[in-house]
Structure 1
Amino acid sequence: MSVTQNAPASIYRTKEDLGVWEHRGKVAVVGIGHSPTFRRWDERLETSVGYLTIQAIQKALEDAGVKPEEVDGVVSSPKGMGEGWAPRPIPEDFANTYKPTDGDPNDGLDGASADWIVNNVPGLDNVSFTMHGPACISNALVVAAQAVGDGLAKTCLVVRGTGNIGGRYGQYGAAAADQASGASQWTNPWGWQLIPQIAFGFDQYCRKYGSNHDKMAPFILNQRRNGSMFPEGFYYQNRPEDLQITTEDYVSARWICKPMNLYDCDLPIQTAWAYLITTADRAKDMKQKPVYILNHCSQRGVVRSLVETLEETEAFTDSIAKKVYQGSGLTASELDICNPYDGFTLFTQYYLEGLKWHGVKRGEAHDFWAGDIRVEGPHPFSSSGGNNGNGRTRTWNQTDTMQQLQGRAGLRQVTIRAETGLAGAFTPGVSDWMVYGISPD
């Protein structure tokens, strides 16, 4: 098994009123790397998560102008979001190319642990610090930012690969069990898991604020439009025609769990990506313009029952906003790039309203969608296109925010001020957030 451990609870800034982050502006992102994207793994070495992970790391290092031997830390989000490959036989070319992780035959196939990375990426000979930020790249970025700030590493890779193996997606763990135990016995047999919860919450939102599902259309179409300008994305590389949906396509799409339809969901894909984080002092000598980390924070909400209420969801996102602004020292009017998570689009409005970005208050998001939210316009919300416009990774918002602040977003480059930015994922109740700036001050 992997010897690297998950980050301890002390790494995460989950509480309100902690003040400005002690390492504000002392840590920076200096490298970005994305591998090619694929819909599913076709069992070739060249499309395995391990191979793609090495590609992404090499691109991030090249982007920063850093040699592998200069890296002394690796933080990985070690598992992807799909099934594992084992107990099926490991493909011979994969087994002959890479060093396996003891006790974990899936390592490198459904994700890549920090141990697998150190053992298989050429030149990573001086790594003395490894840690895992599980489940999401935002978690791993939080861990790496704190670790570099605390002096545990000076030049740290932050990595995740997501595998999508053929067959029914998500049929593992509790979803594949013959029995449901504990609290899950009251939910899993009836399918009450994440998707129904999100759909239920959206229905409650529409009832409270007098809205409806059709009003989501401008946001969805804009996400797809932004994806059409994101060269690293899956749709851009593989299925650009899927980005050209119309309002009629959206409102008439089949229900997945009413009021959530097909276009409210993201598409699982096979890919990997990496970032390089270092100290602010070292960042000055790197190839790219540094993106300074002004804050990180996390939300670990607790619901009162098996059903998360709209009141709780809105309270969770209010808490996220409070921690974002307190820890960074920014106000809502000083946050330029706003890239919250959209993996299921029906909860994105909670983040927008909680953050009060561009003055949007509770119940106003759907009217805001109907305005000018294009990247060329005055309110370029979610300029990345998110998972909806690029495929399921939970990373497009992070990459776009960094690129916007560096002026490297290409056709997506916003025309408003781009000096600060926010990105994070996953749900309102459980998520991790990064705040960036072009200046350490």
Structure 2
Amino acid sequence: MNVNREPIRVALLGCGTVGTEVLRLLQDQPEEFAARTGAPMQVTGVAVRRPDKHPEVPPGLLTADASALVDGDVDVVVELIGGIEPARSLLLRALRSGKSVVTANKALLAEHGSELYAAADEAGVDIYFEAAVAGAIPLLRPLRESLAGDRIHRVMGIVNGTTNYILSEMDATGAGYAETLDEAGRLGYAEADPTADVDGFDAASKAAILASLAFHTRVTASDVHREGISGVTPGDLAAARQLDRTVKLLSICERVVDEDGGESVSARVHPAMIPSTHPLARVGDAYNAVFVEAEAAGELMFYGRGAGGAPTASAVLGDLVAVARNRVVGGRGPRESAHAKLPVQPMGKTPTRYHVSLDVADKPGVLSQVASTFTDHEVSISVVRQQGRGADASLVVVTHTAADEALRSTVESVARLPVVRDVVSVMRVEGEPS
């Protein structure tokens, strides 16, 4: 490939941890990137809110006027500022003026992806976003390209490092949620405001992107059922260990086929018990991993660091090289694939399983009353375990698969039984035969 051509001009929006690493690597390895793309890559400007706070950036590149930078003489806009606005307006502006885009903005893609894809199609340019989910892990491109000819049944994974660290530490130490969250903050695993992570917003945005790619259907963050980890207790983790399971915050996207053969897409984020033998159970610390089940390819596992400056910069630069190559040869990358247009199934209709822990009176007939209530709601019991404790007893019930609304209403009815003192915990069970 001839590298004696005009450079690919790159505008960088945002220069935080990831942006700084992207800029450093582009400046430290110009010959490498020129050889990979077929043309030199030249950073023409770096837009930040406070130019005086970025001594690591050459002064001649810094600007506080992101709009002017986007409107300037550039070929590719790399967006690393995050959030919806002004990122959305800036990227639409770039795409409509014929500039390709690389972004790591999962929230923007999950809410306004279709608008961005349409703008890219109309202008005949690229939009790449590998870094939006799971950091350095090559995940979106395999879904978008390598598995485009396969039929994917399920994508299930750990896509938020903060929550995985917290749950892993709670399981290892027996500490509670609040104190483990504090420790995660001290170690730099949790943000000062951890809401997006611990309440599942971050994972839900990523689930929307994964579901859209895997099932060729537009799925937004608002379509994703979301639950966080603040309600997970050491007791939940202990109960999981008794059944040879562990607890993870999972993003689950699956193709659901009803009795008549009709298909829909389910996308959800919630804590769940999974068998200790499942590959995801062994993913600890702040690592990410995604398990894909496809018809022809079978089971695939993607694992690695899901966040951090260098890992995320790796994914951004991989996209930048791909976009630059397309600019050099006059080609385009893959377009949005939303031809399936499957309906998104509400959580109440989604088939799942429950692990229910109850405090009950220790007297004859308790088990039969509880079991009868499950039968009345047409929910089948897979495992039941009862243990006396003085005047009280604990009862653990694990169900077979049923619609989530049926399981929820069953638990509500059980809670009203006179023999049930308290519903201690309810958690879904994933990753094993129903």
TM range (shorter): under 0.3
Structure of greater Rg: 2
Q: TM-score, normalised by structure 2?
A: 0.27
Q: TM-score, normalised by structure 1?
A: 0.26
